[in-house]
Amino acid sequence: MEAEFKPGLGALERHGIVRANVTTRPSAPETLRRGETERSLGMGGTARDRQGLSLGGSAWPCCAAACLLLSLVATSAQADDDAFSRRGMLANDVGQVRVRELVPGIDWSLLYAGEVFGTASGGVESGAVYEDLLDLEVHADLDELLGWEGGGAHVSLYQINNGGRNAADLVATLSDPSNIDARPTFRVYTAYLQQNFGGGGSLRFGQIAADDEFFISSTASALINSTFGWPDITEADLPSGGPAYPLATPGVRLKLDPRDDIQLLAAVFSGDPAGDCPAQRDPQDCNAHGTTFSFTGGALLMGEAQYRPSQPIAGRTGSAYRIGGWYHTGVFADQEFGNGEDGLIIPLVDEPDRPIAREGNWGLYAIVDQVLWQGDTTAITAFWRGGIAPPDRNFISWYVDAGLGVRGLIAGRPDDVLTAGFAQSNVSRDDAVLDRTERRLFGFPGKVRRGSTVLELTYSAALTQYWTLQPDLQYIVYSGDPPDDADSPSQDAGEALLLGLRTIVSF
């Protein structure tokens, strides 16, 4: 059975960089709050005072070259250390993670991801941006250190950087083009203890993240757009984006393995990872370094059943089928109506005294990773994910994505991965009705928000054992207004074509 603790498998791998697993981006409408920035972004993204490096069109080649040079310098400084390397087990693994022993019983790994993104056409801003993430993972074997049989501890530490604005600022849409996009800071992400059971399964408790294990597709996670990891429907509908990158939260997770081909997951998370955060503040500001350890905002319950008819072996891919759901115990604002004077129910555009409170929130989802063909060094895998949520209290009412992953497409390059994906997020009918009412009464200039579409094509090339380079192409279509500070705030951005280049180094 695969080891429960994976000391080298940290954020960059969860985000589809080294070991495909999951990605996310933060921030979502607060409970009982219909964020004003949903209007300014036109698609429901909440306030994120992004900072990043603003580059003119002429600086784009220079930034890409600097990204490449940084990888070469870092890679040349590495020494071979096969004893602590670890190869992932999923379809789109590229390269290896260098895992080192700090002292007997304590292992660590250090991963760097840097990327440049620019708009080739469309969007709300031109130019390019650069951002990066340094991920330190430390794992302790408490059996070896303290004699605690089956016990372990794990900590994930991030240094997130950019210089003025991020990839999301170029397009102003619901789906962030980058799954490492976050406010620049040093951050404690996860910090937990885990008890492994002798017969299979484990209990994990501490500061944990849902996007480590829930609602993920191993094939889709090779893509860079955030929605192919922690999808738009959970990011937009859960308070502060839910317990996902970069905001983990206190919780408990139970995993059971009743059979070799079946896994059952159940977890309880604190309801709002940002804590007691005022409506006008960015959740990442309220929990600036991951040390808030919030116990506010109710509770988020998640459950998932996984069926893997064929267990993957080293260098091979296995199909997987998952069904799951979530329930939040908090109170959520109605997306169309509020309570006016004398208790009258009136549209939100009439500025009611308070929104109508909806008790609780929920969602259901299903995931398929299907092996279509597999040879000695090549595999073709298809993925599909779908989710639903009630439209009266959520900005996104349904979501679907699908795509293909091809590993070892080029002869002699078995670790390279070509992945194509399509994602569609649907704005709830209540929000669409509110838009129509606003246009009719006040002449709101933007389109009626209906959804966001993402098309992405990416190729992850394992250039050396510990270095990958990933060119990326994204086409994003959406309806809504650009941010208020854009050059033409009344002009609908409509669509954007982005080019990107990501480099990843395992030190």
Angle at 14 between CA 44 and CA 153, to 5 degrees: 120
Q: CA-CA distances (angstroms) from residue 196 to 254, 295, 302?
A: 10, 26, 20
Measure the N-to-C terminal CA separation of the chain; round to a whole number of Å: 28
Based on its alpha-carbon atoms, the radius of gyration of the chain, rounded to whole angstroms, reads: 22
- Pair type for strands 451-464 and 151-162: unpaired
**pLDDT digits 0-9 by tens, 357-404:** 889 999 999 999 999 998 888 999 999 999 999 988 898 999 999 999
Closest CA to 255 of 327, 192, 318: 192
Give the pLDDT mean for 328-341.
81
Q: CA-CA distances (angstroms) from residue 102 to 109, 141, 427, 451?
A: 10, 12, 49, 48
**Cα torsion at 423, 428, 432, 433 (round to 10°)?**
160
- The 3-state DSSP class for residue 38 equals helix
- Between 101 and 374, residue with greater pLDDT: 374
Task: Return the number of other C-beta atoms located less than 10 Å from residue 358's C-beta.
Answer: 18
Reported pTM: 0.79
- The pLDDT, as a whole number, for residue 450 is 75
**pLDDT digits 0-9 by tens, 31-45:** 333 333 232 223 333
Cα separation, 74 vs 85, in Å, equals: 17
Q: Work out the pLDDT band at 278, boundaries 50, 70, 90.
A: confident
Cis peptide before 246 (omega within 30 of 0): yes
Closest CA to 327 of 380, 363, 371, 283: 363
- Between 83 and 285, residue with greater pLDDT: 285
**pLDDT > 90 fraction of the chain, expressed in percent and rounded:** 51
Measured over all CA atoms, what is the biggest interatomic distance in the chain, rounded to whole angstroms? 74
The mean-pLDDT minimum among 66-70, 225-229, 282-286, 503-507 falls in 66-70
DSSP state string for 368-406: EEEEEEE-SS-EEEEEEEEEE--TTS-SEEEEEEEEEEE
Is residue 17 over pLDDT 50?
A: no
Cα separation, 481 vs 501, in Å, equals: 28
Q: Work out the pLDDT band at 57, boundaries 50, 70, 90.
A: very low
Residues ≥6 apart with Cβ < 8 Å to 156: 10, 11, 135, 136, 137, 188, 189, 190, 191
Task: Return the number of other C-beta atoms located less than 10 Å from residue 471's C-beta.
Answer: 14
Q: Work out the pLDDT band at 28, boundaries 50, 70, 90.
A: very low
**pLDDT > 70 fraction of the chain, expressed in percent and rounded:** 71
Cα separation, 190 vs 139, in Å, equals: 11
Closest CA to 235 of 263, 205, 214: 214
Give the pLDDT mean for 433-444.
64
Is residue 416 over pLDDT 80?
A: yes
Structural domains of the chain, ranges and CATH numbers in brackets: 11-506 (2.40.160.180)
Tell me the two tokens of residue 187.
């951050």
